[in-house]
Structure 1
Amino acid sequence: MVIIIKKMKFIISITCLLVLSLMIVLFNFKPDIVTIFNEDEGSQILEEIFKSRNRALLDEDLNTLNNLYDKSTKYGVWAYEHELKKMKYLHKWANKQGIDFKDIRTKIKINRIKTINEGYSINFTASTEYEYVYENDPDNVNFFRIGTYHVLNTMIKEEGWIITKEWYTDPFADSLNLDEIESKDIKEYILSQQKSDSLQINERRKNAVNYADEFCGAAADEEYEFKYNKKYRNYNPLGGDCANFASQILYEGGNFRKTHKWNYDKSGGSKAWVNAQAFKDYMIYSGRASLISYGSYSKVYKASYKLLPGDFVAYEKKGKVTHISVVTGADSKGYALVNCHNTDRYRVPWDLGWSDKGIKFWLVRVHY
């Protein structure tokens, strides 16, 4: 009797499995199980989104940009409106600069993925490379990279994957008033410049630049794995890591000695080491640096051609320095390029993302 019962249970189990399989095949029945979602699939989704979005930004294609977002929610609308402002800014800046963007490419590194509602929430790092040429020098291609850290929610619709929500630290957040700058004279001046082939810098400056290139995080060459130097605390969650990174560049690369006021040890960095305003003040008042020029963009852009690799730019908002970037080179017209953290930049034109009329610039010579 026991054997018969066991056989009947076995037959019932097999029958249930067969019925379930038949339902899946014939009726597209979906059992209530956890979806298995791997990194490759996530990368494909993001690559599809970024390829379309980068092309839309490049071509000022409002229709394609619009179709990438879910407008039925406020988060989708906000994400779309922000990207639209970014598109307009990039092209206004390009006009001021006298350049044409030729390509925009993004590399993705996924950190975490989880399922939400009918889609996914993806935490990832993006390294975006921009290629550009000057209008009167189309054969010389320049590029820069910007690294950003994203949380993006997406779902599938008939037209493909769309964005329902997105957050990232935007490098163009202070750039919405570029139209306040009279750009005609600026453009003519920039286009008249040439890169100096005779520029000589000492070994300390070269080593500072090498350090800045290796540890600029999500904007660095892929071989460096988009990482900061693990010897130092990442201060981004505490308000920003730009001054900490600039201090590292001068100490690790430029061979500046630590002092009582400018110091980093196991307890962290001193105020002059990690705070942008304090870093700028310390470098100038200590005599380790001196001011090249100060003021609005229209007042300092000509002086920016005096900047050397290893110097730095301080960005002032409402009377306070809020950001530091370090000069790492110049493009084909001799326009200074910078590296920094938060957001991560590699060889980016020094004013890109800092075009609000209220911003003032400190161009600072460092005495190596």
Structure 2
Amino acid sequence: MGLTTPLPPGSTAPLVPGGVLAVDAGNSKTDVALVAADGRVLGAARSGGFCPPAVGVGPAVDVLADAVVRAVAAAGFEARGDRRPYAAHVSACLANADLPVEERELEEAVHARGWGLSTRVANDTFAILRAGLEAGEEPRGVAVVCGAGINCAGMLPDGRTARFPAIGRISGDWGGGSGLAEEALWFAARAEDGRGGPTELARTLPAHFGLDSMLALIEALHLGHLPAARKHELTPVLFTTAAAGDQVARSIVHRQAEEVAAMAYVALSRLGLLEEETPVLLGGGVLAARHPLLHDRIAELLAARAPKAEPRVIAARPVLGAALLGLDHAGAATEAYAALRAHYAPGAPEAPGVDAGKAVPAAG
């Protein structure tokens, strides 16, 4: 997969010859980095979430465009109006690119913007997978991402992959931050009205919003007094309640661990990796937080089902993975990989254009 556009006669080379425009777009934010052929990050920018199912492909790609233009400007280049490409290759790892048909549609839409001579779109899970492989490791392993939703992908050096549709309950998925919050609300509501057993969630969830009952929280969400998007704030409350010993909250966290371990096991099995020492890379906001109850249970389950799996929590920003995939495409030198990894090492300064730890507001 991948699209290529040769330079038309008389046109100029990309602004960054041999360079990579790396894009990591999740449901909550988009990161873009303009990377030189030698691995230096020239400029970067951040914009809002990438949600084509909600807004359509064109408006979703506009969110990417906002960050792309600002990353190019941060690198010291002016946005071009002549469709001159910014880089030789665009490596875009995008949320909601779950089915092959969606990957193709998004790849065509991104390539049509003319940001690079070639374009490759992959699901954002592959950014976590590539970012988590250490220097010198071949592209072999499995990644499970648990952020707003949950997804898993594995790959082998020969290009074979294992993945899931990951489009919600209709494809057998459960969990992620949104799923955890919904489950916590379900148990808390039933505890308060008597349909279910007792749980501290009936108190801690509404208390997070300064409310005194689940009925008040239900009304606030239903009537829009609290935006539905704020439900994600309840996921940390769930983990805090579970850590305090609440059995219902603990059961929800343990179920999430079961889901993570099941996805990893199946991906390892499909790729024939159960008998080999293989990294299982855990990323996304829920897993990167290293909640002991969740992390320890995942480790226990993997040790029982896939003893040679090596779970690792990935704290690196996924845009690193997108950029590394771009360097793979370019056949970059070893020194380029080292320079890129050094830029994203813990404690390293941000590239021009990004305020460390903060999203850059979308223009306009």
| Larger proportion of strand | 1
Larger Rg: 1
Q: TM-score, normalised by structure 2?
A: 0.28
| Larger proportion of helix | 2
Query: Taking CA–CA contacts closer than 8 Å with sequence separation of 6 or more, which of the two structures ends up with the larger relative contact order?
Result: 2
